[in-house]
Structures are given as structure tokens and as C-alpha cells.
Amino acid sequence: MGETEDDRLLRAACGLASLPEETVASFEARLHQDPSDLDARAQLIGHHTHVVRSAATGFVSDAKRAQRESASRRLEEHATWCIEHCPTRSFHVFAGTSLDRDAGARLAAAWDKAIDASRGEPRVIENAVHFHRVHDARRAVELTEQSRARHPDDARWPRILAELAVPPTASFLGKADPEALRKQKALWSDALRLETDPSQRRTLLQRKAATALELEEHEEAEALAAQCREESREEPQPLRGLRARTCRGIEGEAALKRGDVEAAKRHLEASLDDADPQDKRPLFAPMRLAHALYERGETDVVLRFLERCVALGPQNRDQLFGWRACVAEGKPCSFGLTEVALSRARKTSPAPEPPAEEREPGDNLMRVAAMASLRGLTDEEISKWRDRLAQAPDDLEARATLMGGLGRKNEREAVEHRLWLIRNRPDHPLSGMPAYYPSSRDAIERAWSEAIEAHPNDARVLGNAAQSCGPVGAGRERAIGLYRRARAIDATNPKWPDRLSFLGQLEVQSPRRFAAQRGQTAPMKPEERAALVEARALLEEAFAKSDPASPERHWRLTRLASLAFDLDELETARRHALELEAHAPHDSCDHANALHVGHQLLGRLALRAGDVADAERRLLASVAEIPERTALRWIGPSWDLANDLLAADRTDAVLEFLRVVESFWNRPAAEEIPGWRAAIAEGRRPFLATRIP
């Protein structure tokens, strides 16, 4: 089936890139002459969407902020016009997903009017549902159920309800509620009974098979997947190959659950038979099945499977190579599966018991919440902590444990604990821990607004509210304003200039690092340099106000050294790095981190000065002393000096550095290292950067 007009318009409107100014002007002129020119409108929606997204994540100068506000207004105008004039067309339904809450509310009202004006036209409601899936999932369900009641023979409504029944993250992480899965499976069945389009039917068969597998209904899952695969033989590539790999994975997992290991192995090996060798996009293969067989000791078949994956030459070849190396060496391997990576992270995370002394009030309870979130809670532990909290509602340790441990298991209850803290203890750092609860964002923001109104002169409340805002987009702007208010009230506290400095530093350095990872390096712009100079001045203020014996003073010195290097103030960077080496804290964790940062910075300075040998020595010295309890075993090392040496073609030292890091770093992200080693051996220069977990 060829590309439809809506497909083409949707591709233009999805916001993958911005347009040159003259092209934007040309499309605006076309719209002025003919407002119904949907091609021009889709192109402009895509352009403004990209501008809004880029401005929310990159460095936000005054000019860029004005550009973002202008693009947001234009994007809302285009989205509103489309809702009013062509609500049955689907290319524009995601135009509002990059806009703020107020704009989203206005677009939601526009969709309600469009539904009324169309007298419940199914295409209009379907598009409104897709919009609400991002902004208001409850409204999406409500609209879909109403439409299903009015149009009981339309397959789209049970299909959409099935998609809404289980949150994507819950299914992705293997945390879906069995009752929700049973409801989803019944809805897939209803949609299948009504669907007449062959391609849609195959998709529904595949999804029902996946749900049956999650419910451990193995024979049905296997039969449905086999039926889908058989019916897909006439489909074109690459869809035929993708569907075959997915179905083979379901069949293999079901066979394995039944105890038929040989059948599972056959499905894994056959899953690549229909792969398109011309398709070089990232390869999506049945890695859950590969992981399950590897865990059973079936190394040979998994190794052959991964070798075939690598031979296809997809974009994620280096990642596949890393998994192949882990399997060949008998090491643990996540196969890129988030639930496996999280499980390994929980098993290899530091012990949850906090240290006896807190660096700042509330630190211990924040560690308790963080560790509970990472490790998860058993049903018995949940029951114990709930009983304890019922006896004493102000038991913050119990509340911290439940808030962290229930985050993925029961979001509603986790949010209730967070709201209790904001309403009853907004002064406690636990209330300001960042969290991602999209469906409860409005309730959390309202609770903070009420807390700030009740405690307008309490710097702790203002600081916790700022901490909960997050470091990017509109949240970042709110955080800066709150931190400034806290700084004015609590002028001697180093925390407030420190956090303002961090936000400024992050705003410049994060997008530059991401660009470098894509091979897009550029000189620092004057406004970026000015922002880093301002961040350094704030950090120097925090450093001067710090207690000389405080570990935070050491971490601030670490950041001052990095800022000086980024600003090309090399002598200042050298002085700070030498001070880090000479005055590292006695605590083993902080001592190792200080030496690591010091060696890395001094090595980069040596390379700048042309002393390659000293740079290589410093690279290896930075990982020579790694105690058991140190952040380096958790988050991994700094990669800056290794990347600099790779750029200078000094591969031997980098390969040895990777070997040492692989020996102590027990996180799933270390699986990328074999792929890097292979790329370097082939003469390529990968950008070394890792993802957590």
C-alpha cells in the first residue's frame, strides 16, 4: 500500500526539522492566499513544533525564548484552524503535544466544539481521542466509550480502548495489572470480530497474542502469533519481516513457558529468515526470547542469532555487537530490555541503609525513597509499611519508602503520598523530589501553589517547589524564579546560588554534549559563554559560602574546575584540578571521585598542551583506584578524556581504559563497551557516552 495524503501530511507535521526562514515565508504566503492549503499548513506545523521542542531542551537565550513563544503562538493558531476547519483529517492531531498546559486546555475546548459541530462524527472523535491521550487520558477513555455505545459495529473503538487499558510503560516494564490485561484481551477480541481490513486484522492478532502471553495463556498466544505470521506472508517488506520477528518471539516465549526449549530455539533462529537485508534501520528482533534462552544456558543458539543480527548491518550494529560479546564471554546481558536492565540495577545497587550522618537535613529519607524506587517493594513489604503508616501518618520513613517503591506499581497511591508531603511537610526535602507523573501533574502543581501561598517567606518551601519543577522547559523557568526568591530570603545559604548555577550550566552543556554525540560540534556562541560565566559566578558565590569541612564544597570545586575548562580558562582549571587532588576528602567514596575528576581534567589539559603521554597516563590513573562503595561503580566514569584521545587517534590507551572500566562497572550500560572496542578495532571512532540504567 502506497503513502496516503494524510501519511504525507503527517510526516511533514511531525516536527523532525525546522525550515529555512525563506521557506517559512513562502509557506506563510501560500496560506495567506489560500488558508485551506493543507500542505503548507502541515509544513508550518512541523516547523513550529521543532522550534518549540528545541527551545525547551537547549540553551534558552532571550532571543530563543522569544522565538519559542512566537512559535508556540503560531503552532496553537495552526492547530486551532485545523480543528475548526478539517477536524476529520489526522495529520494535525499531535500538533498540541508540545504546547504548555494552558494552550492544551484551549485546544481541548476547540476539540469539544468540533465534536458538537460534527454531531459526533467518528473521525472527529477519533482524532480528539488521539489528542487527549497525551493531555487527558481519562477524557480519551470517556469519549471512546461514548462513541462505542453509539457505533457498536465500528472496530476502532474497542481497539482504542484496548490501547488505553494498559499504560505503555506498564506493559513495557512488565508491571501491567492482570485485570487490566484481561480487559485489554477482551477488547482485542471485540475489535477482531468487527475488523474487516486484512492488515488491521493481522495487527490485532499480533497484539492479542502479546496480551495472551502476558496473561500466561501460552497455547492461545502461540496459536494467535502463528496465525498472524501465516497471514502476513503476502505483506510487503519491511513490514513482513518485522511482523515475522515479533510473532516468532511470541511463539518462542510461549513454547519456552510450556517447557519446549527446542521449539523456542527454532523460533529464535527462524525469526530472521524474512529480514530485509536492504533495511538498515535499527533492527527490532525478539530479544526477550534471546534473553530467556540465554538465562537457560542456551548460549550457542543465542550467539548464532546475534551474529546474524550483526551481519545484517543495521544502525544499532555496535549495540548488537556489545550483546554478542557479553554472550560470548558468558557475562550478564540485558539485550536492551528495560525490565532486565532495571532488575540488574536493583541487584547491583548499593545497600539501601543510609549513612548515619546526613550531609543535609532530609538526605537520608531521600536516599530511602530513591532506593525503594530502584529496588521495588514486595507485596509483604508494602503491607508492612502501610500498616506502619496507618498507625503514624507523620512517619516520614514509611511514607518515603512507599512513595518510592510504589512509583511503577501503583502510581495513584505514590502520588497520594507526594501530595500529603506537599500539603503537610512542604519544608521537608522529600516533598521536592523530582518525579514523572504526567496524569497527576496538575494536582501536584496546584498543591505546590497552595503551599507557596501559605508559606511565601519560607525558603525551604520555595526551594522544594523549585526542585520538583524539573530542569528543562517551562519547569526550568519556574524553578529559576523560585530559587531566586529563596536566595533573596535566605541569603547566606549556599544551596540557592548552587542550584541556580547548576540550571544555567546544564542548559548550555547538555545540548552541546548531545550534539557532540551525533558528531555535530560547533564553537561556543557568545550567549552560551555568557550563560556559563553567570553560572560560574553563582557557583563561586556558593563555594565561598560553603562550610570548609562540607563535602558539598568539594563537589562545587569539581564543577568550578569543569566550568573553567569549558570557558578555556586553562590555568584556573589546572589550579582547581590540582586542589582536587591535594585536598580530596578522606571519605573513600568522595576521595575516589575527586581523584577521578582531577586526573581527567589534568589529562585534558595535558592533551591541549601537546603532552599526549601524560594525557594517556592520567586517563588510566583516573580509574586506578575504585573502592567498593563509590559513585563510579554506579554511574560510570567520565568519558571526556577518552573521547579527546580517540579524536587524536590514541587508541591503545583508550582500549586499556575501556578494559579497566568494564572490570569494575557492573551496570547494564557497560554492555556498550564491547561494541565500542569492536568499532575502534575497525578504525571507527565512536562517541563514548552511556545511558542509565
pLDDT tens readout for residues 393-416: 999 999 988 888 886 667 788 889
Distance CA 112, CA 20 (A): 35
If phi > 0 it is left, if psi is from -120 to 50 it is alpha, else beta; for residue 120 that is: left
**Nearest Cα to Cα of residue 467 among 537, 362, 566:** 362
pTM of the model: 0.70
Q: Residues 239, 367: one domain?
A: no
Instruction: Identify the pLDDT of residue 585.
Output: 57
What is the DSSP secondary-structure string of 459-471?
HHHHHHHHHHH-S
Cα–Cα distance measured from residue 622 to residue 626, given in angstroms and rounded to the nearest whole number: 9
3-state helix, strand, coil in the chain (%, to 5): 70, 0, 30
Query: Which is more confidently placed, 626 or 76?
Result: 76
Residue 660 within a domain: no
Residues 287 and 374 in one domain: no
Q: Is 496's pLDDT higher than 70?
A: yes
Calculate the alpha carbon distances from 667 to 512, 631, 675 in Å.
25, 12, 15
What cell numbers appear for 595 in the block? 581523584
Each residue's pLDDT tens digit, 623-638: 887 776 677 777 788 8
pLDDT for 611 equals 95
Give the C-alpha separation, 126 to 558, whole Å. Answer: 53
- pLDDT tens-digit profile of 502-535? 988 888 877 777 666 666 667 888 888 898 999 9
Q: What's the rounded Cα separation, in Å, for the pair 294 and 86?
A: 52
pLDDT of residue 4: 76
Query: How confident is residue 329, by pLDDT bands cut at 50, 70 and 90?
Result: confident
pLDDT 10s digits, 21-64:
899 999 999 999 999 999 999 999 999 988 887 665 544 556 66
**DSSP labels, 10-57:** HHHHT-SS---HHHHHHHHHHHHH-TT-HHHHHHHHHHHHHHHHHHHH
Q: Per mean pLDDT, which of 2-6, 20-24, 133-137, 311-315 is the most reliable?
A: 20-24
326: which residues sit within 8 A by CB, 6+ positions away? 332, 333, 671, 674
d(CA 69, CA 72): 5
Greater pLDDT, 138 or 633: 138
List the grid coordinates of 474.
517551562
Average pLDDT estimate for 325-332: 84
Question: Do the domain assignments include residue 666?
Answer: no
Q: What is the sign of the dihedral through the CA atoms of 110, 164, 338 and 284?
A: negative
Place of cell 474497542: 158
Domain boundary among 452, 467, 482: 467
* Domain end among 435, 467, 499: 467
Are the CB atoms for 668 and 693 separated by under 8 Å?
Answer: yes
Residues 14 and 146 in one domain: yes
Kindly state whether residues 439 and 365 are assigned to the same domain: yes
Residue with cell 592520567: 618
Query: Which residues touch 556 (CB under 8 Å, ≥6 apart)?
Result: 494, 498, 539, 542, 543, 546
Co-location of 4 and 148 in the same domain: yes
pLDDT at 685: 84
- Distance between CA atoms of residues 668 and 674, nearest Å: 12
Q: pLDDT over 70 for what percent of the chain?
A: 87
- In angstroms, the CA 284 to CA 273 distance is 14
Same domain (yes/no): 320, 363: no
Residue 616 has which C-alpha cell? 594517556
Q: How far out from the chain centre does Cα 636 lie?
A: 18
Range in 243-252, 407-416, 655-664 with the lowest mean pLDDT: 407-416
307 and 274 in contact (C-beta within 8 Å)?
no
Query: What DSSP element (H or E) covers 113?
Result: helix 101-117
8 Å CB contact between 592 and 600: no
Cβ-contact 372, 398 below 8 angstroms: no
Among 463, 409, 473, residue whose Cα is nearest residue 441: 473
Pair 305, 380 in one domain: no
Predicted pLDDT at 55? 62
Report residue 64 CA to chain centroid gap: 24
Question: Are 582 and 601 contacting, i.e. CB atoms less than 8 angstroms apart?
Answer: no
Integer Cα distance of 456 and 445 in angstroms: 16
In angstroms, rounded to a whole number, what is the distance separating the alpha carbons of residues 270 and 245? 8
Specify the DSSP class assigned to residue 584: -
Of 67-76, 199-208, 304-313, 351-360, minimum mean pLDDT range? 351-360
Asked whether residue 272 falls in the same domain as residue 313, the answer is yes
Task: Return the residue matching grid coordinates 548460549.
Answer: 299
DSSP 667: S
Q: What is the pLDDT of residues 593-617, one digit of tens each?
A: 778 888 999 999 999 999 999 999 9
Are 132 and 1 members of one domain? Answer: yes
Looking at the structure of the chain, the number of domains it has is: 3
Which residues, other chains included, contact 596 with Cβ-Cβ below 8 Å and sequence gap of 6+?
Answer: 622, 623, 632, 637, 638
Angle formed by the axes of helices 473-489 and 495-517, to 10°?
160
Lowest mean pLDDT among 265-269, 290-294, 547-551, 569-573: 547-551
Q: What is the CATH number of the domain that holds 330?
A: 1.25.40
Q: Is the distance from CB of 206 to CB of 243 less than 8 angstroms?
A: yes
What is the structure's pLDDT at 675? 81
Stretch among 115-129, 291-305, 572-586 having the lowest mean pLDDT: 572-586
pLDDT given at position 184: 94
**Residue for grid cell 508492612:** 384
* Cβ partners under 8 Å of residue 143, min gap 6: 115, 125, 128, 129, 132
Which of 262, 225, 230, 269 is closest to 247 using CA atoms? 225
Of 91-95, 407-411, 637-641, the range with the lowest mean pLDDT is: 407-411
Range of the domain at 246: 197-336
- Same domain for 299 and 400, yes or no, is no
Instruction: Check if the beta carbon of residue 106 is closer than 8 Å to that of residue 77.
Output: no
The set of cell numbers assigned to 48 is: 513550529
Across 282-291, b (16+ Cβ under 10 Å) vs e yields ebebbbbbbb
Q: What is the pLDDT of residues 335-392, one digit of tens each?
A: 877 655 545 444 444 443 444 444 445 557 777 777 677 667 788 888 999 999 999 9
Q: Which of 94-98, 163-167, 601-605 has the lowest mean pLDDT?
A: 94-98
Q: Where do we find the cell 591503545?
A: 652
- Distances in Å between the Cα of 554 and the Cα atoms of 66, 490, 545, 550 are 38, 22, 13, 7
Among 77-81, 118-122, 345-349, 485-489, name the one with the lowest average pLDDT. 345-349
Rg (CA), the chain: 27
Name the packing angle between helices 299-311 and 287-295 (round to 10°).
Answer: 150
Residues 315 and 371 both lie in one domain: no
* Confidence (pLDDT) at 276: 84
| Cell digits of residue 689 | 557516552
Q: Say if 144 falls within a structural domain.
A: yes
The C-alpha atoms of residue 271 and residue 329 are separated, in whole angstroms, by: 24
- How many residues are there in the chain? 693
Which amino acid is it at 240?
A: R
**Contacting residues for 655 by C-beta, under 8 A, at least 6 apart:** 677, 680
Q: Is-contact 605 574, C-beta < 8 A?
A: yes
For residue 500, is it within any domain?
A: no
Classify burial at 418, counting beta carbons within 10 Å of its beta carbon; exposed 0-12, middle 13-18, buried 19 or more. buried
Angle at 225 (CA atoms; ends 224, 228), nearest 5 degrees: 85
Q: Within a domain: residue 553?
A: no
Q: Quick one: pLDDT at residue 349? A: 44
Grid coordinates belonging to 163: 490501547
Q: Is residue 147 part of a domain?
A: yes
Assess whether 248 and 209 both reside in one domain: yes
Mean pLDDT of all residues in the chain? 84
- Give a yes or no: residue 113 inside a domain: yes
Q: What local confidence, expressed as pLDDT, does residue 343 receive?
A: 55
Decide if 627 is inside a domain.
no
Answer yes or no: is pLDDT of 170 > 70.
Answer: no
Taking residue 546's Cβ as centre, other Cβ atoms within 10 Å add up to: 19
Tell me which of 129, 152, 175 is where a domain ends: 152
HSE, CB side, 13 Å, CA atoms: give it for residue 430: 31
Q: Give me the amino acid identity at 479.
A: A
Q: Are 466 and 478 in contact (CB under 8 A)?
A: yes
Give CA–CA dist 600/577, Å, rounded.
Answer: 9
